[in-house]
Chains A and B, each alone.
Chain A
Amino acid sequence: MSEHDSSQSPPDRRPLIAFAWLWVGAPLVYGVYELVEKATKLFTG
């Protein structure tokens, strides 16, 4: 039993990490895009 447990490797978390960062990153990119659009008016407006 213990031999079986020790041979089990933990699940691959990389897909979950990618999903989690995408979840928070996507709206942040939208916010930064809107901000950059507004900020350029300092030099063009």
Chain B
Amino acid sequence: MSPPVAPPGWSRWLVPPAALSVHLSIGQAYAWSVFKPPLESALNLDGTESALPFQFAIVMLGLSAAFGGTLVERKGPRWAMTVALVCFSSGLLLSALGAETKQFWLIVLGYGVVGGVGLGIGYISPVSTLIKWFPDRPGMATGIAIMGFGGGALIASPWTAQMLSSFGTDNSGIALAFLVLGLSYAVFMSLGVLLVRVPRTEKPVQDAPSAFEGVQVSAASAVRTPQFWCLWLVLCMNVTAGIGILEKAAPMITDFFADTSAAVSASAAAGFVALLSAANMAGRIGWSSTSDLIGRKNIYRVYLGVGAVMYALIALFGDSSKPLFVLCALVILSFYGGGFATVPAYLKDLFGAYQVGAIHGRLLTAWSTAGVLGPLIVNWIADHQKDAGKTGSSLYTVSFVIMIGLLVVGFVANELVRPVDPRHHVPAPRKAADVGARQQPESA
């Protein structure tokens, strides 16, 4: 399958909805927790076991994005979106079979392994195509798509909860919910497969420079540059800091104000978690678009520098003012989302559009690392502080100091980012040949 070339007059504004149809679907992964309690009671599982499908899915996301990135660049976005559709939907259908027959291993295999491959390939599938269509606004374009991954959970959580309440929470009800999700997402994602096109020329926008102008570096060379590893550290530190709040948001706000006159109820804490999701999503599109105006290095200075200040404010004054605590947490979460959404454009600035999707895939291993590191730090420290007899906001003070330290490390790594050494650049004739080969029409 050759990459689908846009016919004359094709609008670039058809590409973001194509990307969104995939990202809004695979973002369902963040709504896995809705399935946990019913699965635990229907299949007699404990909390660790019921988390397995999600954990496998995230590991497979990182692995398939890292190892499948070059193939996605070669085969094009339609191939990648088709693979994502088939894997993600069949993963859900396998899970339906697993729930119906009470075979939990089938749910782990389906949702975690097969579905996880769909997540990884789907996540990187539109990135390089969007950058090629929007060379004038790469931050905004990738921000729209990656916002969809955050938005996917907003749709899937209430929808799944409503389905489970209608179908029942026994194994057949769960199976039916998986079945409806699998079939619905297959239809929904097909829009992306049908609409996605690569530009006919290297210069789809008359007044903007081509995405292929300037430095171009292959994925194999990029991972050998210090710039890649500086960015890896930047992303890892920024995500770890965000997860530091996200992981324990509800108990954190409850603990912070437990001994005050402004105690927080369980439903108010759930409202706080929802508000954090909104900030995460808004940050993806808002900050990423801002990076087109002020530059990628500057926006990461804001994420990491101002993020550290926000953590310091929470640590010092958070328990004296609920609005201050909420405001600082929202800003940190908006930077968390912004960090994810801006990184493809940062990669494009450093390594060019030549294999930016594959490089992005390799960089996502920083996300997998942060996904383990962030919760580990916050949970381990909070448990030890509790054992030491501490209560309230002091349970989290050490975690916050560590988060500030990590953000400072990320800030320094961002400052160390310099233009890539010319010895890593792709020679012009090879680059032109590769781009030309990728943009042959399907009939060729």
Give the interface segment out of B150-158, B340-348, B386-394: B150-158
A40 touches B14 (CB 8 A): no
Q: Could you tell me if A28 and B155 are in contact, using CB atoms closer than 8 angstroms?
A: yes
User: Would A10 and B8 count as touching, CB distance under 8 A?
Assistant: yes
Q: Is the interface of B mostly helix, strand, loop or mixed?
A: helix
A-contact 0/1 string along B8-19, CB 8 Å cutoff = 111101100110
Contact B155 A27 (CB under 8 A): yes
A11: which of B9, B157, B159, B267 is its contact (CB, 8 Å)?
B9
CB-CB contacts below 8 Å: A1-45 with B: 9-11, 13, 16-17, 20-21, 23-24, 27-28, 30-32, 34-36, 38-45
The one of A10, A11, A39 that contacts B274, using a Cβ cutoff of 8 Å? A39
Decide if B21 touches A24 in the complex (CB within 8 Å): yes
Nearest opposing residue in chain A for B273, CB measure: A38
B7 at the interface (CB under 8 A from A): yes
Candidates B191, B268, B270; contact of A20 at CB < 8 Å: B191
The CA-CA distance from A45 to B269 in the complex, in Å, is 9
Specify the chain B residue showing the minimal Cβ separation from A8.
B8
A40 (CB) vs chain B CBs: closest residue: B271
Q: How far is A9 from B118 in the complex, measured between Cα atoms in Å?
A: 39
Q: Which of A23, A42, A45 contacts B21 (CB 8 A)?
A: A23
Give 7 nearest A-B pairs by CB, closest first: A10-B9, A31-B154, A42-B271, A41-B271, A45-B267, A20-B17, A31-B155
A27-B24, A45-B271 given. 13 additional CB < 8 A pairs? A13-B11, A16-B14, A20-B195, A24-B191, A27-B188, A31-B157, A31-B158, A35-B154, A41-B271, A42-B274, A42-B275, A45-B267, A45-B268
- Please report B residues at the A interface, Cβ cutoff 8 Å: 7-11, 13-14, 17-18, 20-21, 24, 148, 151, 154-155, 157-159, 188, 191, 195, 265, 267-272, 274-275, 277-278, 326
